Amino acid sequence: MKPLQLSAETAVELSKRLNVPLEQLMHMPRHILIQKLVELESEQSDAASKDDTPPSTD
Angle between helix 30-52 and helix 8-18 axes, rounded to 10 deg: 60
pLDDT of residue 56: 63
SS3 of 31, please? helix
Computed over every residue of the chain, the mean pLDDT equals 86
pLDDT of residue 55: 64
DSSP state of 20: -
Over range 10-33, report the average pLDDT. Answer: 92
Q: What percent of the chain has pLDDT over 70?
A: 86
Confidence of residue 49 (pLDDT cuts 50, 70, 90): confident
Give me the half-sphere count of Cα atoms (radius 13 Å) on the Cβ side of residue 11. Answer: 14
pLDDT of residue 11: 92
Cα dihedral sign, 42-43-45-49: positive
Confidence (pTM): 0.69
